[in-house]
Amino acid sequence: MTLDATLAQIDADQPAALERLLALLRIPSISTDPAFASHCDLAADWLVADLGSIGVSAQKHTTPGHPMVVGHVEGPADGSGPHVLFYGHYDVQPVDPLTLWDRDPFDPEVQQTPNGPVIRGRGAADDKGQLMTFVEACRAWKAVHGEMPCRITFFFEGEEESGSPSLVPFMKENADLLRADVALICDTGLFESRVPSIITQLRGLLGEEIHLTGPDKDLHSGMYGGAAMNPIRVLTRILGNLHDDQGRIQVPDFYDGVPELTPEVAAQWEGLDFDHATFLGDVGLASPAGEQDRNALEMIWSRPTAEINGIIGGYTGDGFKTVLPSKASAKVSFRLVGQQDPHAIRENFRAWVKAQVPADVDVSFAPHGASPASQMSTAHPAFEACRGALGVEWGFDAAFTGCGGSIPVAGYFQSILGLESMLVGWGKDDDQIHSPNEKYDLESFHKGIRSWARILDAIR
């Protein structure tokens, strides 16, 4: 049977596929909050059952954190085609602040917008909608052909949004269960919301919390202000020193291992005709805030960053309270590139902070993940096959691009399983992932399913 029959099946089954996605989106599988642990477990069970409905032998594997789901299905009887490992994550980000949502984030619905219909709800784009595009492509293929196009291992994680603490131990202990020829990851997006891209380089991620303690209790600022050291004052000075006036990060040896773009890659990115002004203008900004000798595309794809993600201290409720707080803290994250060593950067950052902490103030740290950057080899024939398949579906030639985000599992696939990862996804720039009112375009869901069918047909 032809690919056309599979695509027709996808089109006909779209209403049912949407209902299945909405059912998964209704499960509040927030991995960072222990109060939602049972919901993460429920989401894993849901996926095991859904994979079973298309003939995939799937199992929920317990971990010290949230479960992993692993499923296997054979391909054609003659054993032809590659063995692919598909990865996605079923956990989602917290929904705070809830007051900024237009509806219950776990009561998803299809909404009409000026740009077309969207699926609105937490996890719609990151990553349940993306994950289900691959499952639905396999469902349609099985319905038409009676078998899968190739041997497939499904690997779904439940802790991606909370640093994946169980991922590496699980992969090391179950390497034989996960081995394949190439990995497929659907947790990325379209370039400028229209051009399909295959991510070939990913930034790493390092997270740190700084905790400062000054006096042993909150103090009246009229009685102690000026005489007693205020930990917020210390914290803001340290954070203000993180960048110089040109946007360069001031942690010692931070830029060790940061490569320059090759002329070939730089020319390819230039050919994408990225609109730097619109990129910032769409979010109400005008001036790039990073290294001033780099353009915005370099800043988000190939340069490292240091960002302050949250500050806590003192009284922040309604009205005013003239308090001199006992404690202050901040959450700082670093996006890493090239050969930057996250563990060395953590130690250098802590030493840099400690050197700026005065007497009468104590400092402590809490780590939150440390993953290096990843660079994919495109030598596997699946990469070029995928480029051609995507171009047919979307009407634009697919590009090998970088990604500003961090998807550590791609690096783990390299180091633990020896697999190159092909990262493709159908998210758009305005999907508001990690933010209130997250959405996933119905077009992304539908054409994403069709795209996976084309890719599977091309690589089998």
Compute mean pLDDT per 10 residues along the chain, 460 residues long, and list them.
92 98 98 98 98 98 98 91 96 96 98 97 98 98 96 98 95 98 95 89 93 97 95 98 97 96 80 84 91 92 96 94 96 95 98 97 95 85 92 89 84 94 95 97 98 96
Token pair 């901040």 in the structure block, residue: 330
Domain presence at residue 37: yes
Identify whether residues 190 and 237 lie together within a single domain: no
pLDDT at 374: 87
Number of domains in the chain: 2
Q: In the prediction, which pLDDT does 217 show?
A: 96
Neighbour tally for 39: CB within 10 Å: 20
Q: Does residue 69 sit in the same domain as residue 215?
A: no
Residue 299 lies inside a defined structural domain of this protein: no
Expressed as residue numbers, the domain containing 124 is 3-202+373-459
For residue 285, give Cα distances in angstroms to 41, 276, 278, 305, 405. Answer: 41, 11, 9, 18, 20
pLDDT at 238: 98
For residue 277, being part of any structural domain is answered with: no
Whether 417 and 155 have beta carbons less than 8 Å apart is answered as no
Residues 193 and 250 in one domain: no
Q: What is the pTM of this model?
A: 0.79
| CATH number assigned to the domain comprising residue 342 | 3.30.70.360
Task: Indicate if 174 and 111 belong to the same structural domain.
Answer: yes
pLDDT of amino acid 206: 95
Q: Quick check: is 270 in a domain?
A: no
Tokens of 444: 């992304």
In a domain, 410, yes or no: yes
Looking at the fold, whether 211 and 357 belong to one and the same domain comes out as yes
Any domain includes 20:
yes
Is residue 40 domain-shared with residue 80, that is, in the same domain?
Answer: yes
Both 323 and 247 in one domain: the answer is: yes
Per-residue confidence (pLDDT) for residue 245, from 0 to 100: 96
The amino acid at residue 296 is A
Q: What burial class does residue 165 get, using C-beta atoms within 10 Å of its C-beta: 0-12 exposed, 13-18 middle, 19+ buried?
A: middle
The pLDDT of residue 1: 62
Whether residues 115 and 214 share a domain: the answer is: no
Which CATH number characterizes residue 196's domain? 3.40.630.10
Residue 95 shares a structural domain with residue 224: no
Are 210 and 162 contained in the same domain? no
Please indicate, yes or no, whether residues 414 and 443 belong to a single structural domain of this protein. yes
Single residue among 343, 371, 399 that ends a domain in this structure: 371
- Rounded Cα gap, residues 360 and 368, in angstroms: 27
Query: Is residue 159 located within the same domain as residue 40?
Result: yes
Residue 354 lies inside a defined structural domain of this protein: yes
Query: Nearest 5°: CA angle at 295, between 291 and 298?
Result: 85
CA pair distance 366, 128, nearest whole angstrom: 30
The maximal CA–CA distance of the chain, rounded, in angstroms, is 83
Q: Final residue of a domain: which of 371, 391, 411?
A: 371
Q: Is residue 31 part of a domain?
A: yes
Domain boundary among 320, 344, 371: 371
